[in-house]
Amino acid sequence: MELDRKLADGLAAMQLALPAGAQHKLLVYIDLLAKWNRTYNLTAVRDPGEMVSRHLLDSLAVLPYMHGKSLADLGSGAGLPGIPLAIARPDVAVTLVESNGKKARFLREAVRSLPLSNVTVDQARVQDAIGTFDTITARAFASLPNMLAWAGHLLAPNGRWLALKGRVDPAELGAVPRGFRVVVHELRVPGTDGGRCVVELARA
């Protein structure tokens, strides 16, 4: 299946409507990621068709849970889910926090070449990042208690933390510090196997 059709069909199945030009920009991003991946090893996913499902659609599945006008994507890696979300929501100021130099270079190139005027790259450890954000995203980054310990200072008072995960360990949920409300949203991502969910955390 052609990439543009696979993306369009996936978005339709998820009932997601994107701004004009967003689908084209998402595919340009995947093309850039595939090219850089040959040298920089940014993702274990090599096939662009798989990238549509496992990177683009998986990232965009959290769109309904975004909150406010600012977002920080922690341990952003190749820009997931931060770049797809920034493309889908150009009205939101997105900060990609990534400490790895090679990955940060790719992120800066993606922001420049796409271009993404609403995105900033912060090459820093999450513990050293500054600012407060209405939404914080993290994908395969750390356990929930560690995420809150390292970067809880970044969450605005009425903010939402969205942690993308596969299966959720009940023990991990139970270890979330008191003072946080936890809601688990099951995600259905076309073209992917296994369970996917987003764990939403907010101050109680």
pLDDT tens figures, 18-42? 999 999 999 999 999 999 998 888 8
pTM of the predicted structure, to 2 decimals: 0.95
User: Does residue 1 register a pLDDT over 70?
Assistant: no
- pLDDT band at residue 135 under the 50/70/90 scheme: very high
> By percentage, how much of the chain surpasses pLDDT 70?
100
Please give the structure tokens belonging to residue 190.
């076309």
- pLDDT band at residue 48 under the 50/70/90 scheme: confident
The predicted model gives 120-144 an average pLDDT of 94
Cβ-contact 83, 36 below 8 angstroms: no
Output b/e per residue, 94-127; b: 16+ Cβ within 10 A. bbbbbbeeebbebbbebbeebebebbbbbeeebe
The CATH class of 3-203 is alpha beta
Give residue limits of the domains in the chain.
3-203
